[in-house]
Structure 1
Amino acid sequence: MSIHRLLLNARHPETIGAWVAEMAYRTAAPVSEAVTREITAGVLGYNDPLMLTAARESTARWLRTSYAWEVDPAQVGFVGDIVSGYAAVLRHFLPTGAPVVVPTPAYGPLLTVPELLGHPVVRVPGVETRAGHRMDVDGIERALAGGSRLVVLCHPHNPTGRSFSRPELSALADAVSRHQARVFSDEVHAPLNLSGRPHIPYAAVDERTAAHTITATSASKAWNVAGLKCAQLIFSAAGDGPVWQRVAAFYLRSVSRLGVAATCAAYDHPDSHDWLARTLLRLRANGDAVAEAVSAMPGVSGSRTEATYLAWLDCTALDLADPAAYFRSRAGVDLADGAEFDGPGHVRLNFALQEPVLAEALAAMAASLRELRGSGADPSHVRGGLTDRTGETA
């Protein structure tokens, strides 16, 4: 069994792990080489100003060449990861106790972190259409009219895999601007664009969005280096940079020197760009395989993933209280529970797996549904107490 499969199924060792958002692929050679050079040098100390300056410049080049977004390197700040950056924005750029709008479904920490810091969360469910998930901009505007001061945008969207269009982003900008609110835009999955149309950074839509947005990004998802702890905050609003400078040193303490080296290698090296291009081809093929398999699964539906390597599957028609527990127990596939994203009755499937493993997982899921359908089992009985293959009771 490969080390990558072991990492992904470590939560439930006798299952196929398709739950956590990391790829079961080795990272790009220049990234590995950059980390190896740091280790070989034998000095694993703090980050130094030269490295940080290089990483700011690398980030700005990546944003310019990838998205035509001109960012001054001085606008780039560093945090350990996206969630840490989110917490920093809540602490330093939002009035104490101000409510936060989180469109749902949403990556779990986007829902839980504000409440830990004293900010009530206003959940605004998205709209599911035949064309896929959509933000409920009218609902977001009602929340802003009720006193919320920050909208959390996950773009591309985790867990649904949507890549929001310019008209959708502009509609959100209209609502935010009318209420003089702010946006925290989590764009960590931006390089993982499977749609064929370019990613549009929210802050780059127009002058209004630049003036009310703090953007979070990282090489962590696209190059599979989340454990190296180096994410970036982009301060496009004129007054935000000085605020950040007063607290930047505190957050820099959680940024890994190895992560900084990996970030520069990912963003700058042509071979890293080639690796990403090949990986995107692989992910598109895997996404097609998921869409084809899901279309033949009775009671399961989902829209094609436009970005990320995540498929959001609607299992509500199965009438199971916990679809994730069902698939873990009956198919041996460990999926993320939709309830963690405020999407009960759904599961999130990571398809950045080795292709034979993905095929095995999809076949096992389909077989478990045929078994459920053929057994004539009452789904309420299935709800009662599934015992999965790890011995845990679901």
Structure 2
Amino acid sequence: MAYDVATPIHEAILCETNEGTLGYNDPISIAQGRNSVSAWLLRSYDWDVEPTSVGFVSDVVSGFAAVLRHFVPAGSPVVVPTPAYGPFLTVPELFGHPVIRVPMCEGPFGPAMDIDGIERALHAGARLVVLCNPHNPTGRSYRRTELAALADAVEAHGARVFSDEVHAPLNLSGRPHLPYAAVAARTAEHTITATSASKAWNISGLKCAQLLFSATRDAETWQGVAGHYVRSVSRLGVAALRAAYEEPESQEWLSATLERLRRNSESVVRRVNSEMPGISCRPAESTYLAWLDCTRLGVADPARLFHEHAGVALCDGEEFGSPGYVRLNFALPQAQLERALDAMAAAVAAEQRQLSSATGQTIGSTRGNT
């Protein structure tokens, strides 16, 4: 996010540097971090996770790699619903796990997991399903019924779930976030959850994420390898995490940031759908990301169009397994976001004029777009 961090986080980092505590984490700081995470989960989601079941890794991708290495049968395929955060599509193959991509389908609340497709992949031998909840890049926040349907499929095939919930505090929907592992006792037993304060409090560079082991056997397995991973965790990251989770002023900062994000999301949806023919966008239920469907724009590379003709850098949907889409980060000062949307609308209008001149048609006129 292009926002300053909360004051308590800034002060916590200054305190560490002023005291010269820039070495490795010690058992006391890690224990304090575990307690902070456990208390936050209970307070925010009514999810009781023992501090001893909280493991530290540098970031969610490293945590995902650790799960693949230590908890998934060698060589077994991994199911990844697409679109998906890029590393979920590439990291498994580094560890010898083929990726089975299962495109999401249209559900009653927007893009949804294709449970039938996931079941077919599990039947074919996959043993891990990657769940991104809230979902990056679509911004979906899954309902209990959707998570329960996934649980049915996973349980039927003796598989397990890696649940990336790093965007959970960035809830724009007004509905409480529901951790997948907290849906039922059965989901707790087959899930390892990744989380962090990094996205919600804008401290990703401080390298301090967590794996939550809701199954006792998994927590015991982790104890055998935890020492290797905790070395990669920044002491500054632990200090920032505690300031984010424990300080009331940090909670106030998050509440104010969520209001900014809601306004920005509304602006993106309104302007994209009304000013950019051939492009559509749904409101984000969580995250600070907008997923723009440009498949009816008539442009082979929409990310390149916006970069070259609007000066706006968007993530190419190809990276997420969905060509023809782009991802827009709307965690910007409002004036900067509006300038970006102005430039994007102008680029679409120019492309529309060019297409109209060449074919005599308007973008979207023969593609059912409104």
Deviation of 1:368 (Å):
1.0
The partner residue of 1:100 within 72, 78, 90 is 78
Deviation string for 1:47-103 (max 9, x for gaps)? 011111110010011100111101110100000000000000000001111110000
- Aligned pairs for 1:360-375 (under 5 A) are 360-375=339-354
Which residue in 2 is equivalent to 1:334? 313
The verdict on how the C-alpha distance between 1:298 and 1:305 changes in structure 2, with shifts beyond 3 A counting, is same
Which residue in 1 is equivalent to 2:149? 171
Matched, 1:69 2:47: yes
Q: Which amino acid aligns with 1:273?
A: Q
Matches of 2:125 and 2:107 in 1, distance apart? 28
Which residue in 2 is equivalent to 1:87? 65
Which residue in 1 is equivalent to 2:218? 240
Matches of 1:348 and 1:24 in 2, distance apart? 16
SS in structure 1 of the partner of residue 281 of structure 2: coil
The verdict on how the C-alpha distance between 1:204 and 1:262 changes in structure 2, with shifts beyond 3 A counting, is same
The partner residue of 2:335 within 350, 356, 360 is 356
The partner residue of 2:264 within 266, 286, 299 is 286
SS in structure 2 of the partner of residue 239 of structure 1: helix
The partner residue of 2:201 within 191, 216, 223 is 223
Matches of 1:93 and 1:379 in 2, distance apart? 56
Matches of 1:376 and 1:31 in 2, distance apart? 50
The partner residue of 1:305 within 284, 290, 308 is 284
- Aligned pairs for 1:247-262 (under 5 A) are 247-262=225-240
SS in structure 1 of the partner of residue 350 of structure 2: helix
Matches of 1:315 and 1:240 in 2, distance apart? 42
Q: Which amino acid aligns with 2:280?
A: S
Matched, 1:189 2:167: yes
Matches of 2:18 and 2:304 in 1, distance apart? 44
SS in structure 2 of the partner of residue 221 of structure 1: coil
Deviation of 1:241 (Å):
1.1
SS in structure 1 of the partner of residue 265 of structure 2: helix
SS in structure 2 of the partner of residue 195 of structure 1: coil
Matches of 2:354 and 2:87 in 1, distance apart? 38
Deviation string for 1:126-173 (max 9, x for gaps)? 013574211101110111011000000000000000000000000000
The partner residue of 2:8 within 20, 30, 47 is 30
Identity of aligned residues (%): 63
Q: Which amino acid aligns with 1:139?
A: G
Q: Which amino acid aligns with 2:333?
A: Q
Could you tell me whether the CA contact under 8 Å between 1:105 and 1:341 is conserved in 2?
yes
Matches of 1:78 and 1:42 in 2, distance apart? 22
Q: Which amino acid aligns with 1:184?
A: F
Matches of 2:76 and 2:108 in 1, distance apart? 35
Q: Which amino acid aligns with 1:49?
A: P
The partner residue of 1:213 within 184, 191, 196 is 191
Q: Which amino acid aligns with 2:71?
A: F
The verdict on how the C-alpha distance between 1:123 and 1:62 changes in structure 2, with shifts beyond 3 A counting, is same
Matched, 1:203 2:181: yes
Deviation of 1:378 (Å):
7.9
Could you tell me whether the CA contact under 8 Å between 1:216 and 1:231 is conserved in 2?
yes
- Aligned pairs for 1:319-330 (under 5 A) are 319-330=298-309
Matches of 1:176 and 1:379 in 2, distance apart? 51
SS in structure 1 of the partner of residue 305 of structure 2: helix
Deviation of 1:379 (Å):
8.8
Matches of 2:131 and 2:216 in 1, distance apart? 20
Deviation of 1:376 (Å):
3.0
The partner residue of 1:347 within 326, 338, 342 is 326
Which residue in 2 is equivalent to 1:4? none
Q: Tell me the TM-score normalised to structure 1 length.
A: 0.89
Q: Which amino acid aligns with 1:309?
A: Y
Which residue in 2 is equivalent to 1:52? 30
Q: Which amino acid aligns with 1:67?
A: Y
SS in structure 1 of the partner of residue 201 of structure 2: coil
Deviation string for 1:298-329 (max 9, x for gaps)? 00002110000000000000121110000111
Deviation of 1:371 (Å):
1.2
Structure 2 residues without counterparts, runs of 5 or longer: 360-370
SS in structure 2 of the partner of residue 47 of structure 1: coil
Matches of 1:138 and 1:43 in 2, distance apart? 52
Which aligned segments of 4 or more residues in structure 1 are displaced greater than 2 angstroms?
Answer: 128-131, 375-380
Could you tell me whether the CA contact under 8 Å between 1:320 and 1:379 is conserved in 2?
no
Q: Which amino acid aligns with 1:243?
A: T
- Aligned pairs for 1:110-149 (under 5 A) are 110-129=88-107, 131-149=109-127
Comparing 42-51 and 348-357, the one that deviates more: 42-51
Q: Which amino acid aligns with 1:374?
A: R
The partner residue of 2:20 within 39, 42, 45 is 42
SS in structure 1 of the partner of residue 140 of structure 2: coil
Q: Tell me the TM-score normalised to structure 2 length.
A: 0.95
